[in-house]
Amino acid sequence: MPAIRAPLPSLHRVPRASSAWLWALLAAHLVVFAAWWQLGWRSGLPLLVVVHLGFLCGALRPRSAMYGPVLSHLPIDDRRVWLTIDDGPSDDTRTLLDLLDAHGAKATFFLVGERAAARPDLVREIAARGHGVGNHSQGHPQARFWALGPARMRREIVQCQDTLRAITGVAPRWFRAVVGHANPFVSAPLRDCGLARVAWDARAYDAVRSDPAAVVARLERELSPGAIVLLHEGARHGRSVEMIALLLQRMQALGYATVLPEQL
């Protein structure tokens, strides 16, 4: 298995122990209480809604650092991008590995723990071919990840970490939140596992859009030096491999190569 160096500390930012979000929440509600007391509900209620929307926005925006540091772009100036492929392993994985090899490209596969446990041979092959393996939660609770409590959030992150470490012998360094969402309970398990959260700055909703040309055209518009590109495998429309193949062709034509953060 090719050795992969540790990423730069400036990129791999593990959350620190912090209760800043809690103090901010309490302070905001004190302001709301004061406004409600002094000015009445017509002022207090809208202010309360604004406060809650602000904290909700921090949970639902993938690049928000409200609940801990998040990496969404690599600090490089040449035409290299970080390909990230979510939701595997799947029936697409081995074909994608052959496709990446054919283009001399590397990617990080953010894997779901339950799916990895069911297909450990694919996980080992990803690592053996020199690609990154990242944590994408144990069960991928897509509809409610943003609202998980502390115990369930810890289980999702720690169990996936344990599953992937047991299969590959190496603990993942990167975590991709489900749908990119977060909440105040993400940071503690990430800190304990030594994980840094990764978002993206180039996406085209390839998991739900089924037209490869349209998906790749949008991604092409969002490519830039250091972009983190969000892709998926095993999508229900069955065209994930076709989309990634077309993207790799367009990247080659535009002079873009791939890079893993560990290679910087």
**Mean pLDDT, the chain, as a whole number?**
90
Per DSSP, the residues of 24-79 read HHHHHHHHHHHHHHHH-HHHHHHHHHHHHHHHHHHHH-TT--TTS-EE-B----SS
Active site residue 232: yes
For range 99-112, the mean pLDDT: 98
pLDDT tens-digit readout, 131-171: 999 999 999 998 889 899 999 999 999 999 999 999 999 99
Instruction: Give the separation between CA 86 and CA 204, rounded to whole angstroms.
Output: 13
pLDDT, residue 1, reads: 39
Integer CA distances (angstroms), 111 to 22, 119, 126, in order: 31, 11, 10
The single residue of 12, 131, 181, 232 carrying the catalytic annotation is 232
pLDDT tens-digit readout, 171-180: 999 999 999 9
Instruction: Give the separation between CA 72 and CA 70, rounded to whole angstroms.
Output: 6
For range 189-205, the mean pLDDT: 97
What is the β-pairing status of strands 80-88 and 107-111? Answer: parallel
On the question of pLDDT at 55 being above 80, the answer is no
The residues near 233 (Cβ < 8 Å, ≥ 6 apart) are: 85, 86, 87, 88, 89, 90, 92, 93, 96, 109, 240, 241, 244
The single residue of 12, 73, 86, 181 carrying the catalytic annotation is 86
Instruction: Give the separation between CA 250 and CA 223, rounded to whole angstroms.
Output: 11
For range 191-198, the mean pLDDT: 97
Which band of pLDDT confidence, cut at 50, 70 and 90, is reported for residue 206? very high
Instruction: Give the separation between CA 171 and CA 134, rounded to whole angstroms.
Output: 9
pLDDT, residue 2, reads: 43
On the question of pLDDT at 60 being above 80, the answer is no
Which band of pLDDT confidence, cut at 50, 70 and 90, is reported for residue 46? confident
